[in-house]
Amino acid sequence: MHSRLIRLAIAGLASLAMATSANAAAILEFHQQNLADTPIVATASGSTTTLTTTGTGATGAIPPGWIPVFVTLPGAPTALQAFMSFTTPLSSSGAVATQSGTTINQDSYTGTIQFNFAPAPVAASNILTVTFTGGLVSGTAGGGSATLSASQPPNTVTYTSAIPNIAAIIAASTGRDFGIGFSGIPTSMSTPSGPGLSLTGSPATIASFTASTGGTFSTSTSVIPEPSSIVMASMSVLAGLGYFGFRRRLMGA
């Protein structure tokens, strides 16, 4: 009986904790239409590294800053053709890059990322526009990949969308975060060869590179427990505590 009530009390506390946890969901996932392209260009200048969308990812009538991508959206049965651009270049703003062991980090990236059904910043075709501060670029020194991530909280990540169901999800969210991968950074094992992810300059910044890309953008909401859940959890806790009080009175008699 003693152990059963202990388990009941613990289960009640666990239920209450789970009821106040956060629900996270992806609102957009993307990857390039041509995975062999390397349309992400990182350019080191002085103590700042800037990421832009350009190069082989945009061809023909597509403006050079827009990359053909496939996007997966909530409720969509298949991936959709779209375009992605860093409409405001992503800049490290002079933040010093560091290397700890084999890991390179550079934070304070800011900028704007847009996904659009048209290869231009047309408001009515806006799938998702992301403006952020406090982004972190991280990866293994000499490696062929890196990631850019940002989250709110603690930093600022703002989403807007012209798609009603996505706009509704954004409006209901209390948190937003994303992760973008950069792959195919030239290394000593690739052709043409390169140093892989590396540092340059003093103070250090991430060295120039080209890469392919893909990633996920998510929202999260804090779940407020229903009154019935709170009552049930509280009863479980009180039952356990009541048993201990009764036990102590018996022992003191």
Q: How far apart are CA 147 and CA 180, in angstroms?
A: 6
Residue 120 — very low, low, confident or very high, per pLDDT cuts 50/70/90? confident
Share of the chain above pLDDT 70, in %: 75
Q: What is the largest CA-CA distance in the chain?
A: 90
The structure's pTM equals 0.77
Domain ranges of the chain: 1-21+225-253, 22-222
Residue 200 vs residue 6, higher pLDDT: 200
Nearest partner of 30 among 124, 113, 125, 152, judged by Cα: 113
**Average pLDDT over all residues of the chain:** 82
Strands (E), 10-92: 22-32, 40-45, 48-53, 67-72, 80-91
Mean pLDDT throughout 135-153?
97
**Which residue from 37, 251, 39, 27 is spatially nearest to 159, judged by alpha carbons?**
27
| Distance from C-alpha of 216 to C-alpha of 4, rounded to nearest angstrom | 44
CA-nearest of 149, 53, 140 to 108 is 149
Average pLDDT over residues 221-246: 42
The whole-number pLDDT of residue 23 equals 77
Is the pLDDT score of 221 beyond 90?
no
Tell me what pLDDT residue 152 has: 96
Tell me: pLDDT of 15 over 70: no
Q: What's the Cα-to-Cα distance from 212 to each of 39, 128, 163, rounded to whole Å?
A: 6, 20, 27
pLDDT at 51 over 90: yes
> What residues form DSSP beta bridges with 48?
45
pLDDT, residue 189, reads 75
**Burial (Cβ within 10 Å: 0-12, 13-18, ≥19) of residue 168:** exposed
How much is the average pLDDT of 71-100?
Answer: 95
